[in-house]
Amino acid sequence: MTEMVYGSVPVRNAEPVLPKWWRTIDRWSMSCILILFGIGLLLGFAASPPLASKNGLAPFHYVERQAMFGGLALIAMFLTSMMSPLLVRRLAVIGFLVAFISLIGLPFFGTDFGKGAMRWYSLGFASVQPSEFLKPGFIVVAAWMLAAGQEINGPPGRLWSLMLAAAIVLLLAFQPDFGQAALILFGWGVMYFVAGAPMVLLVAIAGLVVLGGTFAYENSEHFARRIDGFLTPELDPRTQLGYATNAIQEGGFFGVGVGGGEVKWSLPDAHTDFIIAVAAEEYGLILVLCVIVLYASVVVRSLLRLMRERDPFIRLAGTGLACMFGVQALINMGVAVRLLPAKGMTLPFVSYGGSSLIAGGIAVGMLLAFTRTRPQGEIGDILRGRIR
C-alpha cells in the first residue's frame, strides 16, 4: 500500500547480501565504532595490568578478555546490521522477554560481587548483567508500541509503553541501579517526545521523576551516599572521584605520556567506569576530545539519516537507540569530571566489560540496520506533496 501511494525506487533483489549491505550501511558511523573499540584496547593496555597484578593474573589478562568480548560484540554488530527492520524487531522482542525475566530473577539468583547492588548472574567463568541486554530490546519494543498507537484504531501504545517503562524502572531501582533506570526512562522519553507527546504530560512525568528521586534519597543509603558525595563542596582525594579528578588535571592538554599515569594504580574501576580518567592522564585532552567527537558523530549522523525515514517504527527505534548510546557516554564522562553523581555506567566500546560490550554491539547493530539506505523517497517529498 505504501508503494502504491508514495511510489518507490526499484529494488535489485538479485544483489548479494554483502554488497547490498556495504552499499546501504552508514560506513562513517561504523568506522567510528571500530575506532572507539581500538581506543578501548589501547587504554586497556594501560589500565588493566594493575588490576591483574592485584588479582594474581597475567599482566594483560583483562586486555585479552576485552579483545575476546569485543570480537563477539563486533560480530553481533555486523550480523545485526545486515538484518531487515522486521527481523530486528522480532529478535528484539525475544531478547527483551529473556532479559526481562532474567531481571526479575536477580533478587533470587543474582550476585552483587561485593558492590552492594544485585545486578549480575555469575557463571563462574564470566558474569552477565541482564540490564545491559534489556536496554536495546526495550527501545525496540517500546518504539513498536508507540508506532502502533499512531495507527487508526491502533492499540493504546503510549500507555502500554509507559507501563512497561515504569515496571523496568522499578525493577532496576530495587537492585539498586538508578543509572540504568534513568537511562531507560530517558530513552522512552525521547521516543515519546518524537512520537508527539504533549509537553504537559512530559512535565508531569519529570515531576514524578523528581518525587521518585527524593523518595530514593530518603530511603536508599546507596543512593543517598552517592548524592551526598556529589553535592559536598570538598572532594575527598582518596575516593574514586577524587583520584579521577586529579588524574584529569594532571593530564593537561597532551598527557603525561604513555604508561606514565598513576591513577590506574589507585582506581579500582580504572578499566571500567573511570577509563576516561586514564585516557585524560596519559594522553591528555586531545584524546578525550577525539573520543567525544567519535560519539557525537555516531549520534548526529544517525539522527540525520533517521530524519529522512518514513516508517514511524524505524524512526522512533533508531532515535531511541542513538540517543541512549550518546547519553550513556555523556553520563560516564560526566561522572569522571564530577558533573554528575556516580552511576556505575560503562563507556560504550571503550570500557572493559563483557555484557556491556556484547549488548552495545547488538544495540549499535540495530541502529545501523535502522539507518541503512532503503528504496524510498525523502520524507520531505511527502510533505511537499501534501502542501501542493
- 352 within a domain of the structure (yes/no): yes
Q: Cα 346 vs. chain centroid, distance in angstroms?
A: 9
- Would you report the helix, strand and coil content of the chain in percent, each value rounded to 5? 70, 0, 30
Q: How confident is the model at residue 92, as a pLDDT?
A: 96
Which residues constitute the domain of residue 370?
21-374
Q: What pLDDT is attached to residue 303? A: 96
CB 46 within 8 A of CB 278: yes
Residue among 201, 157, 165 nearest 183 (CA):
165
Contact in structure between 141 and 160 (CB atoms under 8 Å): no
- What one-letter code names the amino acid at 227? I
Cell of 164: 512497561
User: Is 338 domain-assigned?
Assistant: yes
The whole-number pLDDT of residue 1 equals 44
Q: How far apart are CA 356 and CA 361, in angstroms?
A: 8
**Average pLDDT per block of 10 residues along the chain, 388 residues long:** 47 72 94 96 86 84 92 96 95 96 90 77 84 95 94 88 93 85 91 84 78 76 71 67 80 81 77 86 92 97 93 95 95 85 84 91 97 69 50
Evaluate whether residue 2 is within a structural domain.
Answer: no
Is residue 55, in this structure, part of any structural domain at all? yes
Structural domain count, the chain: 1
Nearest in space to 288 (alpha carbons), one of 338, 339, 334, 341:
334
- 47: three-class secondary structure by DSSP: helix
Question: Is 180 within the bounds of a domain?
Answer: yes
pLDDT score of 233: 67
Answer yes or no: is 386 within a domain.
no
9 occurs within a structural domain: no
The predicted model scores a pTM of 0.88
Tell whether 382 is covered by a domain.
no
Task: Give the pLDDT confidence score for residue 210 in this predicted structure.
Answer: 80
C-alpha R_g of the chain: 22
**Cβ atoms of residues 168 and 214 within 8 Å:** no
* Amino acid 323: pLDDT: 96
DSSP 305-316: HHTT---HHHHH
Q: How far apart are CA 35 and CA 40, in angstroms?
A: 9
**pLDDT at site 174:** 83
Q: What are phi and psi of 378, to 5 degrees?
A: -70, 145
pLDDT of amino acid 379:
52
In angstroms, the CA 190 to CA 186 distance is 6
Closest CA to 192 of 171, 155, 165: 165
**Cβ distance 80 to 366 under 8 Å?**
yes
Q: For residue 176, is the peptide bond before it cis, meaning its omega torsion is within 30 degrees of 0?
A: yes
